């Protein structure tokens, strides 16, 4: 890939990622606000200088210069406008909660759709099609990965026996009892090649494996993979945060494997796009879940913080002082931006030291 093409791919990857993350998130807030007759002053993608705008039905739609965020300005949420007749705070608590939850909810929906698209590319009726390949870890080697086998490859035969069923490979591995196996493997659009590899003992599965999953993959399974992805991804992210907080990750929060900010995300997005659109869409799906989860945190300036306010007001039976609430939201936003800037320093360090993972095949 030429330098110009590489730059073009990088720019398109970051802009596309931004649009798929921020646009739907703010769109969720926007659509539910409109549904409940809340006046929407502005729907904006990006921050800073306005590049383009138009006004329709009283709402300003704008595209701004910096792809670092977006926002929806609702009536009743700004100084001097708290008592607007069709403002956010004039609506029932359940309606306000749905407006706030709609942004993260749409992020989870985007992730499900993206992963369904990826999974549909794996639909096949070929028992030898490689669906996934175990990557090696300290306790679990993967002979197949080390031999260069990747998802999308086809296992033509194993020890001279053509692969005709999804169970056959496991049977042959069990029969080998740790002895070398000869596989004929074909890459998509490429010639078949012969690979010799030795099954390795996997302590988690308590048996010898070569580290691949093959089989027939139906459209229904692809859809189910997409639908369940946000759940499994969210669990993985929460477990990762717990590992960071409990000191299980070497280097801690700001170490090589610690928190990643906007610069690191942009770098990973470009790397993934240059490795192929499936890798890029996979990153987008994961980031969409992460964005949805992050916005549900009960912190000022985030949707979760506003959700807490609505719930507490419902419990106490009267609203908080709006100006004090706004001051708290501003403080939370300032603290969040400071954290983003702080993490950016460590992102740059990781890029310089080549500590981000690659996506090469």
* pLDDT for the residue 361: 41
Residue that has been written with the tokens 């770098």 in this structure? 267
**DSSP-derived 3-state class of residue 24:** helix
The residue from 26, 172, 271, 325 that is catalytic is 26
In DSSP notation, 291-342 reads HHHHHTSS-TTSHHHHHHHHHHHHHHTSPPPHHHHHHHHHHHHHHHHHHHHH
Q: Taking the chain (361 residues) in consecutive chunks of 10 residues, what is each chunk's mean pLDDT?
A: 75 90 96 97 94 95 90 93 92 97 98 94 82 73 86 88 85 88 86 89 81 83 93 89 77 69 82 84 93 94 94 94 91 87 81 64 41
Q: Is 314 exposed, middle or buried (0-12, 13-18, 19+ CB in 10 A)?
A: middle
- What is the Cα 355 distance to its own chain's centre? 20
pTM of the model: 0.79
Q: What pLDDT does 239 receive?
A: 87
The 3-class secondary structure across 227-265, one letter per residue, is: HHHHHHHHHHHHHHHHHHHCCCCCCCCCCCCCCCCHHHH
Alpha-carbon separation of residue 95 from 38, 98, 180, 314, 322 (angstroms)? 10, 5, 63, 12, 18
CA dihedral 229, 235, 240, 244 (to 10 degrees): 150
Question: What local confidence, expressed as pLDDT, does residue 307 receive?
Answer: 97
DSSP state of 357: P
pLDDT of residue 102: 98
Active-site residue, 26 included: yes
Nearest to 19 by CA among 43, 42, 50, 45: 45
All domains of the chain in start order, with CATH: 3-17+92-121+264-352 (no CATH), 130-214 (2.30.42.10)
Residue with tokens 């590992």: 243
* pLDDT attached to residue 360: 44
């Amino acid at each position: 890939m030429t330098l110009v093409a590489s730059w073009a791919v990088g720019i398109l990857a970051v802009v596309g990622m931004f649009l798929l993350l921020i646009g739907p998130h703010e769109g969720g807030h926007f659509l539910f606000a409109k549904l409940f007759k809340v006046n929407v002053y502005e729907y904006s993608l990006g921050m800073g200088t306005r590049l383009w705008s138009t006004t329709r039905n009283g709402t300003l739609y704008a595209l701004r210069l910096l792809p670092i965020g977006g926002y929806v300005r609702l009536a009743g949420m700004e100084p001097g406008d708290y008592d607007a007749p069709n403002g956010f705070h004039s609506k029932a608590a359940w309606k306000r909660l749905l407006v706030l939850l709609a942004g993260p909810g749409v992020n989870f929906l985007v992730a499900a759709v993206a992963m369904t698209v990826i999974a549909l590319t794996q639909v096949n009726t070929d028992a030898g099609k490689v669906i996934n390949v175990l990557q090696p870890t300290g306790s679990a080697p993967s002979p197949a990965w080390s031999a260069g086998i990747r998802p999308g490859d086809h296992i033509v035969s194993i020890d001279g026996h053509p692969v005709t069923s999804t169970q056959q490979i496991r049977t042959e591995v069990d029969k080998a009892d740790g002895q070398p196996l000869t596989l004929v493997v074909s890459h998509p659009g490429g010639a078949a090649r012969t690979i010799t590899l030795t099954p390795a003992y996997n302590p988690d599965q308590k048996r010898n494996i070569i580290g691949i999953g093959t089989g027939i993959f139906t459209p229904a399974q692809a859809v189910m993979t997409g639908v369940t992805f946000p759940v499994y991804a969210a669990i993985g992210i929460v477990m990762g945060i717990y590992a960071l907080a409990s000191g299980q990750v070497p280097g801690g929060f700001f170490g090589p494997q610690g928190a990643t900010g906007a610069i690191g995300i942009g770098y990973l997005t470009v790397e993934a796009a240059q490795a192929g659109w499936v890798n890029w869409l996979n990153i987008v799906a994961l980031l969409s879940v992460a964005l949805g989860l992050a916005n549900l945190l009960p912190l000022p300036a985030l949707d979760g913080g506003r959700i807490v306010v609505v719930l507490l007001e419902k419990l106490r039976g009267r609203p908080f002082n709006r100006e004090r609430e706004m001051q708290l939201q501003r403080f939370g936003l300032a603290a969040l931006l400071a954290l983003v800037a702080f993490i950016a320093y460590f992102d740059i360090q990781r890029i310089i030291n080549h500590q981000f993972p690659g996506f090469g095949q």
